[in-house]
Structure 1
Amino acid sequence: MSKPPNVVNIEQVAAVDYREGEVWGGSYQPLTPALDALPGRLGANLTRLPPGRVGCPFHAHAREDEIFYVLSGRGVLRLGDSVQEIGPGDCVSCPAGHGVAHQIANPFDEDLVYLGIGVNDPHEVCVYPDSGKVLVRHLKQVGRLEGAPYYDGEPPRPRVFDLLERGVQPAPKKK
């Protein structure tokens, strides 16, 4: 009997390698493909972080809560200005919207294996305090912001007046 598409077995899920350079990333197995295709839904991954590697840059989410549940191995959680060892049975909650960044690393000699659970919010904004980057998922951009006055770069004559002069008619006021 075949399983419905919303049931997966870890043995049949291919690992996705996301390593970058000598220290960044590991691999993960997406456990919720039926939800992953729908933006804004809860999802879960089984992540394997080899010795000497860091899962991702230090970051804080504006909209996405994250939960990490350690299955095996040892690692460290950087949360704000603190570092805490984590291991099997530890469940880490990283609430969104409070500005406290987090990061998981494995400085030990065996793989760290954990479940990562969260929402894939299409409107997420994520900040990276160590590098000054910002992710704006809706724009599909990661970059650095620089401050500017509110009206900086706006044309001296707002384009709305040009549209009206060219005959573009305003839509009628709704009652």
Structure 2
Amino acid sequence: MATQRASGLLQRLAQGSLVKQILVGLVLGILLAWISKPAAEAVGLLGTLFVGALKAVAPVLVLMLVMASIANHQHGQKTNIRPILFLYLLGTFSAALAAVVFSFAFPSTLHLSSSAQDIVPPSGIVEVLRGLLMSMVSNPIDALLNANYIGILVWAVGLGFACVMAMKPPKPRERYV
């Protein structure tokens, strides 16, 4: 009876959304770290593997999803982009606010190594914009390999529009006599 209930719970969790699975994993990881730190460090390998797999798949997934959504969009179809942009901006602002609040609540010092001191920050906005524009026109394979999401998005939009244009029937040519 107990194994049936446990397997039913696992089956329900496995069929649930990925977000719920990640949240359950986070809660279980926190509980395990609270109970036994050595066991949590041993199980931490699973989290490291998950993050590594996510980093490996994310660039290709972004490319395919953006390209497919542009290619499959029908003219006049509602896009529902406003709630997505609102949630993106809300999430970004919330993360920045949380970072500022926690940096004041728990101050810390950062000791840079000598190699990090050799890095020169951009001298102005022109250099930042130049770097942004150069990342937009990077090689698509290089953008995927280096997780250059600006380049990936530019190539995805371009390939999506190319797919849209390729699906349109050709216009009949007029003969000029």
Q: What TM-score do you get using the length of structure 1 for normalisation?
A: 0.21
**Which structure has more helix as a fraction of its residues?**
2
Computing the radius of gyration from Cα coordinates, the structure with the larger value is: 2
Q: What TM-score do you get using the length of structure 2 for normalisation?
A: 0.20
**Which one scores higher on RCO, CA 8 angstroms, separation ≥ 6?**
2
